Amino acid sequence: MNLELRLPLIRYLLTGGIPLFFQNILGTAFIDAGTAWNENTGLRLFKKSPEGKLITDDLLVGTGFGARVYFIFLWKFDVAWKYDYQHWSTPKYYISLGLDF
């Protein structure tokens, strides 16, 4: 599952038509969740931690936010965190080139 919210941060029309270097910057917030398995009997989405708390096992969950800039290519900058139902990981930073889906 992937949920993503995209919203314009700076639009070409907001600048009064003045051609700025970065004239269309989009912001995004997202959450991803998923798993993969080959035997239904072995699928365990959650388990108990050594402290007795519920945490994710086969289920992977991450969330974050980022920016998109169209300059020759689509440049993406994202900050993301893994979540295991009890703790957030340290942030991971991604810079990538490419098209949106």
Condensed to tens digits (0 to 9), the pLDDT of residues 25-74 reads 888 999 999 988 877 777 888 888 888 888 888 788 999 999 988 777 88
Percent of the chain scoring above 90 in pLDDT = 31
How far, rounded to the nearest angstrom, does the alpha carbon of residue 89 sit from its chain's CA centroid?
14
Of the pLDDT bands very low, low, confident and very high (cuts 50, 70, 90), residue 87 is confident
What phi, psi does 37 have (nearest 5°)?
-155, 165
pLDDT bracket for residue 85 (50, 70, 90): confident
- Token look-up 């290519």 returns 73
Q: How high does pLDDT run on average in the chain?
A: 82
Task: Give Dmax (Cα) for the chain.
Answer: 60
How many structural domains compose the chain?
A: 1
CB 79 within 8 A of CB 65: yes
Q: Which amino acid is at 31?
A: I
Q: Is the pLDDT of residue 83 over 60?
A: yes
Give me the long-range contacts of 89-94 (CB less than 8 A, separation at least 24): 91/64, 94/66
Domain of residue 7, residue span: 2-35+44-97
